[in-house]
Chains A and B, each alone.
Chain A
Amino acid sequence: MTGAALHVVKAGLLTTVQDLGRYGHQASGVPVAGPMDTFSHRLANQLAGNAIDAATLEVTLIGPDLIVEADTTMAIAGAQFEVTCDDRPVGLGASFAVTRGQRLKFGRIVQGARAYIAVAGGIQTPPMLGSRATHLVSHMGGLNGRALQSGDRVPIGNNPRPRPVRKSVGLTLPSKGRALLRVMPGPQADWFQADALRAIASVSFRISPQSNRMGYRLQGPPLVRSREDELISEPLGIGAIQVPAAGEPILLMADRQTAGGYPKIGYVIAADLPMAGQLAPGDFIEFHVCTHHEAVTALIARERQLLRYADLKDVP
């Protein structure tokens, strides 16, 4: 492979290439994938002067150690890690210049779970069905359909005119491993005992170790169904809270399947999905039922926050 690249010295726990996702093929069963925290992915891109749909690296809990084989501009947003560039601390949520051969090293994680590394010009692995997003289970996109490994060279683009931003306000990260996520009733909310949705809002759920980019298994009091019918498989969206027969809910995340047959009691609103993406196994979730109006207001507020760093050509 020739051209500019990131040389992977250590890959970290789970580092994948992600863009905004592989939309347009769910009718063929192709999952969307994409960032767990789209807000921080977009912010990192904007700070590096990229379009918001450029591919970034999603870093999970233990970050990578990379040699940057180009003069470029980079930015890191999302979870708070201790990061150094040639042993000098790197400020997160701001762009920084890197010269060829410098070593970007992730250290301890302080808060959150996932950070996004954007490089001016974007990660340039070959797109598959219109997207570079890695879907681990179906081995699609990213670098050969898998997470990065030590020794990999990840191709990057070049951006002749990066538009560096020195400082930004990032996502509010979960505090002490707890997050409050707002939910609205799902299509089968009435399949559960009366007030089940209110009931899930009165307890906290622990994210089980059997959780991943497909979804979070939530440990808490089992949700009791009032209807025992088999649901006919139907399309699934991100943020849906589905409840298998055993009553332990699963919050569906970026790598979810396109369809499923478990009833869905509710779904997390779009504005709170980035916060959900900053959680890890062992963290706690509390749900709060909200109205459609609150959901829209929250999303607009979130977008205003991003708009401040947007290149005008990206503004709809």
Chain B
Amino acid sequence: MLLVELEPAIDPVVNERAILLASRLRDRNARGVRDIAPGYCTLGVHYDPLQTDLAALEQAIEREFAALASLEAVAARSAIEIPVNYGGEHGPDLAAVATHAGCSTAEVIKRHSERTYRVYMLGFVPGFAYMGRVDPSIAAPRHRVPRERVRAGSVGIAGLQTGVYPVESPGGWQLIGHTTTIMFDPGRDKPSLLAAGDVVRFVPVGHR
């Protein structure tokens, strides 16, 4: 794998450049390139070393990157809404996050759901989107010892990041809610609900 490194920062513009660079390189359909995956501020170019002219690939990456250098802002996108049941059995850590923040659970729900989040990258398991940035006042750190099982659909916070567990898996994030939205389904045309660069808003449902 060839790792392309942009500026080491969690920044929407840097991330947008990584995503656009990935898209432009995919469009070139270069011989030997098997897969291209953007990270926060990097790009993984997976290639078959026997089929690839590495020097030519590196030059192509330089050229495509130069063409993106003028990008200075991220175009607005409409938000994908994810309905969330907050608290109780749906979000066992909501009270702990409220304690961390020194506010009520209702206030945590408000602060989590009143802003939109950018999907920076996907990883960990299929369809798991790393989103930011969380209101710093509710940015509770992850558990020191991860849970062995987090149920699919759980919505969590880890520092300034938030995300949804697409499948049951181990996990260390603070669980504040749950969604019935299917985040990943390999049988769909577009298996992953979210892609890097998307904008997401969590919508509280079922208040009690």
Binding site for B on A (CB under 8 A): 23-32, 128-129, 137-140, 187, 232-238, 240, 257-260, 270, 296, 299-300, 303, 316
Contact = CB atoms under 8 A, between A and B. Distances in A.
Given A28-B126, A140-B126, A303 B50 contact: yes
A27 B23 CA distance: 11
A237 B1 CA distance: 5
B173 interface: no
Given A26-B44, A28-B184, A236 B1 contact: yes
Nearest to B23: A27
A187 B2 CA distance: 10
Interface string B118-136: 0001111111111000000
A232 B41 contact: yes
B39 A30 contact: no
B122 A27 contact: yes
B40 interface: yes
A28 B195 contact: yes
Nearest to B10: A232
B22 A27 contact: yes
B131 to A, nearest CB: 13
Contact of B39 (A32, A234, A303): A234
Q: How large is the interface on B (under 10, 10 to 19, 20 to 34, 35 or more residues)?
A: 35 or more
B39 A26 contact: no
Contact of A235 (B1, B51, B167): B1
Contacts of A139: 167
A260 B124 CA distance: 8
B39 A316 contact: no
Given A27-B122, A296-B49, 4 more contacts: A32-B35, A138-B126, A187-B3, A232-B42
B186 interface: yes
Contacts, number: 113
Contact of A138 (B35, B125, B129): B125
Interface of B: 1, 3, 5, 8-10, 22, 34-44, 46, 49-51, 121-130, 167, 169, 184, 186, 191-192, 195-196
A59 to B, nearest CB: 26
18 contacts: A25-B35, A26-B46, A27-B37, A28-B184, A29-B126, A31-B126, A32-B46, A137-B169, A187-B3, A232-B40, A233-B39, A233-B40, A233-B130, A236-B1, A236-B44, A237-B3, A238-B1, A240-B1
B35 A187 contact: no
A19 to B, nearest CB: 13
B125 A137 contact: yes
Nearest to B170: A137
Q: Which 3 A-B pairs have the closest CB atoms?
A: A235-B44, A237-B1, A259-B123
User: Looking at chain A's contact residues, is the secondary structure mostly helix, strand, loop, or mixed?
Assistant: loop
Contacts of B10: 232
A29 B35 contact: no
A92 B51 CA distance: 29
B50 A299 contact: yes
A52 to B, nearest CB: 12
Given A29-B125, A257-B124, A299-B49, A232 B39 contact: yes
Most buried by B among A259, A299, A303: A259
A129 B126 CA distance: 12
Contacts of B127: 28-29
Contacts of B191: 25, 28, 30, 129
Contacts of A238: 1
Contacts of B38: 27, 235
B8 A232 contact: yes
A28 B192 contact: yes
B49 A270 contact: yes
B126 A30 contact: yes
A297 B196 CA distance: 37
Nearest to A20: B34
B5 to A, nearest CB: 7
Contacts of B122: 27-29, 258-259
B126 A316 contact: no
B58 to A, nearest CB: 12
Given A27-B22, A316-B50, A129 B34 contact: no
A30 B191 CA distance: 10
Contacts of B37: 26-27, 235, 258-259
B186 A140 contact: yes
Given A129-B191, A187-B5, A258 B49 contact: no
